Chains A and B, each alone.
Chain A
Amino acid sequence: MRKYFSVFLVAVRSTMYKIMGILILMAAAETILFWIQLKGIESGIPLSLEELVRISRISLVSGAAFLAVCCILSLVGYEMSGSRTRYTIQRLSVKEEAVVLLWALNSMIALCIFWAAQLGIVLLLSKIYIDFLEPVSFNRQTIFLAFHRSGFLHSLLPLEETSRVLRNVAMIFGLGIAAACFAQKQRQGQKGIAIMVLTALTVVTFSGDMGKLGTDIGIIAAFLAAAVFSVYSIFRTEANKE
């Protein structure tokens, strides 16, 4: 177990600080943009929370941060700076399939942290919004309604829309495996494009409106198919080497 944990930690160490840095930058950028817009409405008619989130371009910042995170996760074990990491990986007492799966697990955890951090930031900004407004300008359901009306906010916190929760889980699962496979493919002289396709798909479809069950099912199917194919390719490649 210690050997597996040591391999897992390689991925954690390669990504943790960089992802933390991105999250801090993302939080700072989103807060500043939100605050600028919030100050702008001081003398005018108060905007709704979802409108304020929209004009603050928070989803854009989030998308950029998400791309950066996916990039960092894909580079774990990637051969660069003239180093051939395959020579170390193939010399471990843990099989390369296990190495890839452990690094996929790290990617999934990192993406969960990203999701949680983005949710935490928008909830905090919602609190700032409420504190900023006159008491007559909001009610108990202001935040709830904003998360109901905004596709971006709703997808971050889908509450009872199970299909959206499952879609997000499928996204994290698929992206995690595809990210780990990207470097594995490169080590074997191939190209792994699944992570790029899934990242683009996530950016394009993440902020979908609520109640789109068919779309959610389609996305779940696409991500699970990509994940299953990637896992299959990991084991197929290793079997061919044997």
Chain B
Amino acid sequence: MLEIKNLNKSYIGKQALTQVDLKLEAGEIIGLFGENGAGKSTLMKCILGYLQYQGQILLDGEAVTRKNIARLSFATSEHSFFPNLTAGAHKDFYEMHFPDFREKRFRGLMEFFDLSFQKPLKSFSTGQKNQFEVILALCQGADYILMDEPFAGNDIFNREDFYKVLIGILEPKETVLLSTHLLEEVENFIGRAVLIRHGQIVGDVSMTELEEEGKTLVGYVKETYQYKADRVSRALSDLTDEA
């Protein structure tokens, strides 16, 4: 279990995360939702130890250190691979560095997305880079796979393929924390939705609960955010009056 206790993070003059408490159980697929700047990326970077923070982040009761960091993997739309190296060279590197690297899964996904083993990654298109970034995260052999907007720049068909593949290949102990704006697309794929706003967790619900209540994910998000449906029409009306 990945446990986040009373996590606080501030940048100069700005509170990015405030008293975040979250538990990610093994085998869950969790969607992390929020507006731009809500704190999704910051939360992930704190979990991975990229940022200093106040509070506790525990992986099966132990702090995240170099000893257990291999149990976490990360896919980001910013990309984290070595652009000068080929996919094949990354495979060799990951295979040597991460003892639980899933070679079979790697080959299967590379083939499925028709990615070249020989070309340097810098020559890939943005969509291909995203695919490769996610492939690496899925194949590292990590128990907790963190994905931060991994499909930004990919077309809808590509994303749908990925969701299907993801559901098919994940093993029961693998946990995915997926940050995305694509609520409707992941609705049927995640098991739990966590909402973050202004650095605070404002919603945490299982998809089963939502289903029982007859709510959609988009509806739940709007409700939690107290979204005003007439916001656009009022703004347009004001603008028109002004003109």
Which residues of A does B touch, CB under 8 Å?
A: 2-3, 5-7, 9-10, 13-14, 75-77, 80-88, 90-95, 241
Contact = CB atoms under 8 A, between A and B. Distances in A.
Contacts of B122: 80-81, 83
B142 to A, nearest CB: 10
Interface residues of B, number: 28
A14 B96 contact: no
Given A3-B97, A82-B78, A85-B80, A91 B69 contact: yes
Nearest to A242: B52
B11 interface: no
B82 interface: yes
A66 B33 CA distance: 50
A86 B76 CA distance: 12
A87 B80 contact: yes
20 contacts: A2-B96, A2-B97, A7-B97, A10-B82, A13-B89, A77-B82, A80-B83, A81-B121, A82-B78, A82-B83, A83-B122, A83-B129, A85-B83, A87-B78, A88-B80, A88-B82, A91-B80, A92-B69, A93-B67, A94-B66
Contact of B66 (A7, A14, A93): A93
Contacts of B78: 82-84, 87
A23 B21 CA distance: 57
Interface of B: 48-50, 52, 66-67, 69-70, 72-74, 76, 78-85, 89, 92-93, 96-97, 121-122, 129
B11 to A, nearest CB: 14
Given A5-B96, A77-B82, A93-B97, 4 more contacts: A6-B97, A9-B96, A91-B74, A95-B66
A239 B109 CA distance: 39
A7 B92 CA distance: 11
A90 B82 contact: no
A80 B76 CA distance: 15
Given A3-B97, A9-B96, A93 B81 contact: no
B178 to A, nearest CB: 17
Nearest to A90: B50
Contacts of B97: 2-3, 6-7, 92-94
Contacts of A82: 78-79, 83, 129
Given A75-B84, A80-B83, A87 B76 contact: yes
A241 B50 CA distance: 9
A14 B67 contact: no
Nearest to B48: A91
Contact of A84 (B67, B73, B76): B76
Contacts of B70: 93
Given A9-B92, A91-B74, A85 B82 contact: yes
Contacts of A92: 66, 69, 97
A8 to B, nearest CB: 10
B90 to A, nearest CB: 9
